[in-house]
Structure 1
Amino acid sequence: MNTWIDANSVLLQQTLTTLLMALSIQIPMRMGVFSFAGIGAFGIGGYTAAAAMIHLGWGTFPAIAAGVVFAGAVVYVLGLVVQRLNGLYMGMATIAFTLIVAVVAVNGGELTGGASGLFGALGDLTLGAVFLVAVVVVLLTQFTESGGLGRRIDAVREDPELANAMGIDVGKYRRYSFLVSGMVGGLAGGLTTLLRSTITPEEVNFHLVVLALTVIVVGGSRSWVGVLIGSVVFVWLPTWVAFVGEWEEFIYGILVVLAAVLLPDGILGILRGLWHRIRTRNTRTTPTAAGARDSAESDRTAEELEVAEP
């Protein structure tokens, strides 16, 4: 097992950072906010961590923390600016924000390395450390998916007017979704950058939006479990279909189209459906078996009474 982990440590790290990046979009979506600002936060967190390490000589985790805080603050301010937008307009505004981050990076001079980016920001990160960080984020995300908080978030997404009538401050939940999205996106960017030791403006672009959205759609948008499934599929897919050579991108596209058409709730939706059918079948079988036992006992009791009669 350890040999397999060592041989695939890069893919495992990439899976965890992709999970965090996709969560930065999935979390606001669960609150009904169609925002891609988490991808811009990915770039902000990555550049901040790299600049803090290269220019200021900071250590790995202080540099990552700086990226998380700065990205969260910037995206929260963005949320205040665009909070009146919804749907497609919100999506376009936040995509524009991501593109603006890339433009600022290109024109950032020595601070961002310009078009060439920053190099040499190699952090002291291990697979265990990245895994621990991802587990903490997942546990906090699970807290928002269950219990009273999870039900309030579902209400904010499904029926904002009803949620307001019930005393839930919909605007506050949506503003906080930008803050959390920015922090998680900044964390993903900082970890990715310090694992690779470099970041360039080309890495913070529309293709990351497509990747994160594809991960969410294929895996499932209603839970972090679906995001994890999608991350595993699309990080490991190139290794699974490497034998097809130049047809790799074609197969990738076919899988995405099939998932979008045939799996409206993602792979997680199929797994939940199977689990529900299994539980339903067991529930139906148990009362039947209990009824058979009761019937047999009734028959034995009747026979005993007949024998006992004179």
Structure 2
Amino acid sequence: MSDWFDANTVLMQQTLTTLLMALSIQIPMRMGVFSFAGIGAFGIGGYTAAAAMLHLGWGTFPSLVLGLAIPAAAVYLLGLLVQRLTGLYLGMATIAFTLIVAVVAVNGGDLTGGAAGLFGALGELTLGTILIVTVIVVALTQLTESRGMGRRVDAVREDPELANAMGIDVARYRRMSFLASGAVGGLAGGITTLLRSTITPAEVNFHLVVLALTVIVVGGTRSWVGVAIGSIVFVWLPTVVAFVSEWEEFIYGVVVVVAAVLLPDGVLGVIRDGWHRVRTRGLGGRRGAAPDDPDDHSVVDTEEVSA
């Protein structure tokens, strides 16, 4: 078993960082905010952590903290600027933000290393440390999915007018989603950079948006569990289909299309539906009773939301 862990440590680290990166998009998406600013935060966090270590001589964890704080502030300010935009326009504006980050990195001179990027920023990070950080982020995310908070978040996404009428500050929730997106994205970028010891402008590009969206679509958009499932699938899938060589990208495409068409709620949705059927059969003796699904937030409980 220890040999297996040693051989797959890099894949496990990549799974955790991919989970964090995808969460930076999924968190605002759960609040009805179609934002990809978390990918720009990923780039800012990576460059900030690397620059702090190389130019300022900081240690691993102070560099990561700075790599979390600066992109969180930057994305929060972006949220204030684009708060009147919605849907496709908001998505395009936040993608533009990500591309601007890459352009600034190319033209950043010695601070960012220009087109060559920054090299040699190797942090003292272990799999256990990354796991602890990820568990903390996931635990905080779970708080926004549980009970009253989860229902308020669902109300903000599904019917913002009703949520406002019930006393929920929709604008504040959405601003906070930008702040959380920037913090988690920056953390993912900082950890990834200090693991690889390098970051270049080519790594902060549209392909990360595609990867994060793919992870969310395949795994499921409504919970961090779905994001975790999607991260595992797309990090470990290359080791499974490596034998097909040039057909690898084709298989990725098929997986995404099948998930989008046949699994609208992702793999997590299939698992939840199967579990609900099992529970329903187990309670089949209770005629006329429809067991409540504690994970189903599709109906907003007005009393609980307004609490």
TM-score (norm 2): 0.93
Matches within 5 A, 1:155-174: 155-174=155-174
> Which residue matches 1:48?
48
Residue 15 of structure 1 deviates from its aligned partner by: 0.2
Higher helix share: 1
Q: In the alignment, residue 92 of structure 1 is paired with which amino acid?
A: M
TM-score (norm 1): 0.92
Q: Which has the larger Rg?
A: 1
> Which residue matches 2:81?
81
Matches within 5 A, 1:6-155: 6-155=6-155
Q: In the alignment, residue 217 of structure 1 is paired with which amino acid?
A: V
> Which residue matches 1:278?
278
What is the CA deviation profile of residues 276-300 of structure 1, one whole-angstrom value per residue up to 9, with x for unaligned ones? 0000001115x59xxxxxxxxxxxx
> Which residue matches 1:293?
none
What is the CA deviation profile of residues 180-215 of structure 1, one whole-angstrom value per residue up to 9, with x for unaligned ones? 000000000000000000000000000000000000
Is 1:269 paired with 2:259?
no
- Which stretch of the first structure deviates more once superposed, 42-51 or 242-251? 242-251
| Alpha-carbon distance in structure 2 between the residues aligned to 1:208 and 1:272 | 28
Residue 6 of structure 1 deviates from its aligned partner by: 1.1
Residue 2 of structure 1 deviates from its aligned partner by: 2.1
Residue 267 of structure 1 deviates from its aligned partner by: 0.3
Residue 129 of structure 1 deviates from its aligned partner by: 0.3
How many residues are aligned here? 287
| Alpha-carbon distance in structure 2 between the residues aligned to 1:238 and 1:36 | 25
Where 1:183 maps in the other structure, the secondary structure is helix
> Which residue matches 2:181?
181
The answer for unaligned runs of 5 or more in structure 1 is 289-310
> Which residue matches 1:196?
196
| Alpha-carbon distance in structure 2 between the residues aligned to 1:157 and 1:40 | 23
| Alpha-carbon distance in structure 2 between the residues aligned to 1:278 and 1:2 | 36
Matches within 5 A, 1:244-259: 244-259=244-259
Q: In the alignment, residue 108 of structure 1 is paired with which amino acid?
A: G
What is the CA deviation profile of residues 111-166 of structure 1, one whole-angstrom value per residue up to 9, with x for unaligned ones? 00000000000000000000000000001100110021111111000000000000
| Alpha-carbon distance in structure 2 between the residues aligned to 1:168 and 1:105 | 39
| Alpha-carbon distance in structure 1 between the residues aligned to 2:177 and 2:252 | 31
Q: In the alignment, residue 100 of structure 1 is paired with which amino acid?
A: I
Residue 3 of structure 1 deviates from its aligned partner by: 1.9
Cα RMSD after superposing both structures: 0.8
| Alpha-carbon distance in structure 2 between the residues aligned to 1:2 and 1:128 | 14
Off by >3 Å, runs of 4+ in structure 1:
none
| Alpha-carbon distance in structure 1 between the residues aligned to 2:222 and 2:237 | 22
| Alpha-carbon distance in structure 1 between the residues aligned to 2:32 and 2:89 | 13
Using the aligned pairs only, state the percent identity.
Answer: 79
| Alpha-carbon distance in structure 2 between the residues aligned to 1:178 and 1:36 | 10
| Alpha-carbon distance in structure 2 between the residues aligned to 1:71 and 1:267 | 31
| Alpha-carbon distance in structure 2 between the residues aligned to 1:109 and 1:170 | 41
Residue 53 of structure 1 deviates from its aligned partner by: 0.2
